[in-house]
């Protein structure tokens, strides 16, 4: 019996608890929405010059929510944003200092997947910083992929 419990414990998925997930102004769930077959680029459009992925326009949400779940207080809040042409002030999860060069497009064109740098987003109700985007994290992947680790590759030459 004890062995059985022990075996179960060992098999329990050791997904880190989202203890550090910031509270968002509207409880949007990637898991629920991606289960409907939506694609990342529907909401994260990577506009020119391609550095940022960006956050969705409220209009993108309202495409569905004009008629879906309209009596939810969260959706009412969303509709108010749409009427006032403001966006919910999403709390940033991943962020690097402005003195570091980083381009989403350069990385996706080199074959990097969203999940490599952001974890299994499609299975998450809430997002938190679950991967290492520190300088060490960038360097490890650059070494593995024979990309440059020269200081001036990621930082302005002084």
The residues that touch ligand HEC, with contacts defined as CB under 6 A, are: 24, 26-28, 30, 32-34, 36, 38, 40, 42-44, 52-56, 60-61, 63-65, 68-69, 72, 74-75, 78, 90, 92-97, 100-104, 106-108, 110, 112, 114, 116-118, 121-122, 127, 133-135, 138-139, 141-142, 145, 147, 149, 151, 153-155
Query: Residue 155 pairs with which residues in a beta bridge?
Result: 100
- The least distance separating ligand HEC from the CB of residue 5, rounded to whole angstroms, comes to 33
- The least distance separating ligand HEC from the CB of residue 10, rounded to whole angstroms, comes to 30
In sequence order, which residues have a C-beta less than 8 Å from that of residue 135 and are 6 or more positions away?
Answer: 100, 154
Give, as one character, the DSSP assignment of residue 100.
Answer: B
**CA distance readout (Å), 136 to 51, 64, 127, 131:** 20, 41, 22, 12
């Amino acid at each position: 019996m004890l062995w059985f419990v022990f075996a179960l414990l060992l098999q329990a998925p050791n997904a880190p608890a989202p203890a550090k997930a910031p509270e968002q102004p509207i409880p949007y769930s990637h898991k629920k929405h991606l289960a409907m077959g939506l694609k990342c680029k529907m909401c994260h459009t990577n506009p020119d010059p391609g550095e940022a992925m960006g956050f969705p326009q409220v209009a993108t949400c309202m495409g569905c929510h004009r008629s879906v779940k309209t009596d939810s207080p969260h959706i009412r809040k969303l509709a108010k944003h749409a009427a006032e042409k403001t966006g919910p002030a999403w709390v940033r999860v991943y962020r690097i200092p402005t003195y570091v060069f980083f381009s989403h497009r350069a990385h996706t064109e080199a074959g990097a997947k969203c999940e490599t740098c952001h974890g299994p987003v499609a299975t998450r109700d809430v997002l938190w910083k679950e991967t290492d985007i520190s300088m060490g994290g960038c360097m490890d992947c650059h070494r593995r992929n024979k990309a440059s680790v020269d200081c001036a590759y990621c930082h302005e030459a002084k």
